[in-house]
Structure 1
């Protein structure tokens, strides 16, 4: 696959997560400017996550039956318009609605990008392609908070959303030049019954449950950390907005470094083994964060280590979990990716406001996630090479 295509797909995958990270340092400013509580500011992040889930569900279904380009272009157009709406939001609830719409548009970009990769690759080649897209996905959390912190010294939080609107417009133009990867003869039959049969076939696959569930849980650990990080490091440890942006970017670098380690580890370890290592990383992070929460006047480095392990573990496990989940669903790649994204972002959306802004509650949340990951691996982890899930639509391909 040409690098230019992978770069575009990586940017499409990263733009919505970037929209979660770029305005993190502005959370305290939004709280003061709009006169709301911290939980209401976090609700803007939750709304975007719910939108991401909805957008992936709609985009995945449509892309399997109508091709990849149509939902992608529509999604990027919506993301651009919603970003503009965020700039002019007069109150917190308008901002919440705009963030929800922004998430719907960004979700289409995520699901279509992964489906295109599955259309063109399989097996270890798919892991390598996903790992390549992780470069941009990893650079987003590294650069976005730093840029957001620096931008707050020049403008306010509305200006941050202005940058997102420009970025979305650029990706919209790029999407217009992306070639269709799903030929007409390979498209799924549309309709509610056919969609439900595809969903049942995907969910019945234990390898999809294991891969998609692992990615959803490890990303939720990262989401709850992101939602609480600005309050923990700025309010509890006293970091400035720019210093927090730099620290967040340095810790997020773990995501990119560990995702790229798959290129080396792939020579000796299977995707399942690499995903297992990421589960261990989440468990270690839970122990470190619990220690930081229990120690009186904890040193900031202890919280940094515990939080830094979360993006590192997710970076290592995510490409492998996605590849395991999609490997046996070629013509259903959009639906399989959509269900994975729905689970990932809905779980994050529910957990972020529940965790709040305390270090102790973050430690508890990560500990619960570590236990759930262990249970998931024990009950659904692949023990042998699976057979391809059968085509359950019992219908002829769509023609014309």
Structure 2
């Protein structure tokens, strides 16, 4: 299968640095990358505790997995609220308010007496945590354009990827001395640190550039985004790829611990190693930005996800065992490090900075929604078998590759994606 030769995207031809000639700043990368890590922090840190959580709250595996799903739904829906709000009111205020609510609700998760209340708190936690994810990307678009934007997002992903490395390992080690409730206390403490970081950032959306017109303006922007074939293609590619990642996060604790016999600590290390691969590939993507077309990097990542998904299915069906499953999950997760930053950069390349908040929100919402729909279905079907997880990831991998190939092929003709 050959990769179509694709041209550089418009923004890359016009810019080699930021919109005012600025290079990507280290502080911007560290601060914004940390804020985008709200999602991994709020999920990956307590993933090793899911089996214990289910037993303690006397719930089923599917209900325990649903706490992940509702948190992801909250992250998705919250972006649709915070994104347009940040376009109209500025970036800083929604970021700080959302961070404060996230920290408080995370601490409340630690004291809930039932699975039903935990589901409600996780939804609120996701709604508030969405502020860091969507506003950080909008700030990056405010500050950079073209190849500098692609480089910045790649570096953001590299910083962001530290959270999936550290969070599950820290969560697994915390389980040695505290229950799953103590893990949520740690998530709340991390939220307070991110809130303090948000307070140090300045406003990147001056009043004269803010969006006016209320819901009518939002409707016009949504219609414009829906008509942008590049944007839609990138949203679909990243959505299917993220769905594979979300299925891994939600199903692998039960598969690797219940089927293959890993302890919570061993599982947390395996999850951290996978995230290390994602960080390495995101860093590689950032270094290659401006030298290799982002469409090509996106295709390489899509091919990696598809290849890893096929190897996972073969490993499960043939009975190769734990080594085959772990190596496949590593390839899939690492390949996300190529897909995610380049899909984001391509999607936002031609978006006006004044509507970057809404565009980031739509992208993030759809990314998370596909996985949020797939994860509970996999949980209901899994039981004691890894096959439903492998089949679902294989479908996501195939869809990722098909859409990426069609998008790249379309980019060869004028006016296409």
Give TM class, smaller chain.
over 0.9
Q: Is structure 2 residue 397 aligned with structure 1 residue 370?
A: yes
**In structure 2, what is the equivalent of residue 383 of structure 1?**
411
1:250 aligns with 2:277: no
Shift of 1:379: 4.2
The 2-side partners of 1:107 and 1:58 are apart by: 9
Which of 203, 207, 210 does residue 230 from structure 2 map onto? 207
Contact 1:283 1:367 in 2 (8 A): yes
Equivalent position SS for 1:329: coil
**Matching of residue 324 in structure 1 with residue 346 in structure 2:** yes
**Distance (whole Å) between structure 2 residues aligned to residue 344 and residue 318 of structure 1:** 10
Where does structure 2 lack aligned partners over 5 or more consecutive residues?
1-23
Runs of 5+ in structure 1 lacking a partner? 390-400
What is the CA-CA distance between 1:387 and the residue it aligns to?
7.4
CA deviations 1:185-227 (Å, max 9, x no partner) are: 1111141111111111012111111222211111110100111
**1:9-29 CA deviation, whole Å, 9 max, x = no partner?**
111100222211000110110
CA-to-partner distance for each residue in 1:97-126, whole Å, 9 max, x for gaps? Answer: 111111111111100000000000011101
SS of 1:57's equivalent in the other structure is helix
Partner of 1:395: none
Query: What SS does the corresponding residue of 2:155 show, helix, strand or coil?
Result: helix
Asked whether the 8 Å contact 2:29–2:159 carries over to 1, the reply is no
Q: Are the aligned partners of 1:328 and 1:388 in contact in 2 as well (CA < 8 Å)?
A: no
RMSD: 1.7
Distance (Å, rounded) in 1 between the aligned partners of 2:272 and 2:284? 19
Query: Displacement, 1:148?
Result: 0.6
8 Å contact kept, 1:80–1:165:
yes
- Please report the TM-score for the alignment, with normalisation by the length of structure 1: 0.93
Superposition pairs of residues 151-300 of structure 1, within 5 angstroms: 151-266=174-289, 268-296=291-319, 298-300=320-322
The Cα shift of 1:299 comes to 2.1
Question: Do the aligned partners of residues 324 and 240 (structure 1) sit closer, same or farther apart at CA in structure 2, a change above 3 Å counting?
Answer: same
* Aligned residue in 2 for 1:396: none
Offset of residue 377 of structure 1: 2.8
Q: Is the 8 A contact 1:50 1:349 kept in 2?
A: yes
Could you tell me whether the CA contact under 8 Å between 2:151 and 2:289 is conserved in 1? no
Task: Note if contact 2:40-2:167 (Cα within 8 Å) is conserved in structure 1.
Answer: no
Instruction: Work out the number of aligned pairs and report it.
Output: 388
Question: Shift of the alpha carbon at 1:370?
Answer: 2.4
Corresponding residue for 2:18?
A: none
Identify which range, 380-389 or 139-148, moves more after superposition.
380-389
Retained in 2: the 8 A contact 1:224–1:362?
A: yes
CA contact (8 A) 2:299 2:401 kept: no
Is the Cα contact below 8 Å between 2:154 and 2:341 reproduced in 1?
Answer: yes
Is the 1:209–1:380 Cα contact (8 Å) retained in structure 2?
Answer: no
Q: Say if 2:152 and 2:286, in contact at 8 Å, map to a contact too.
A: no
- How far did residue 344 of structure 1 move? 0.8
Report 1:1-400 matches (<5 A).
1-266=24-289, 268-296=291-319, 298-330=320-352, 331-356=354-379, 357=382, 358-381=385-408, 382-384=410-412
Contact 2:80 2:358 in 1 (8 A): yes
8 Å contact from structure 2 (residues 237, 403) kept in 1: yes
Compute the displacement of 1:301 (Å). Answer: 0.6
**Separation in 2 of the partners of 1:93 and 1:134?**
33
Alpha-carbon distance in structure 1 between the residues aligned to 2:369 and 2:246: 11
Structure 1 range deviating more: 346-355 or 169-178: 169-178
Q: Closer, same or farther in 2 for the Cα pair 1:310/1:190, shift >3 Å?
A: farther
Please, which moves more after superposition, 32-41 or 349-358?
349-358
Counterparts of 2:264 and 2:400, CA distance in 1? 33
Shift of 1:372: 1.8
Structure 2 CA distance, aligned partners of 1:63 and 1:311?
31
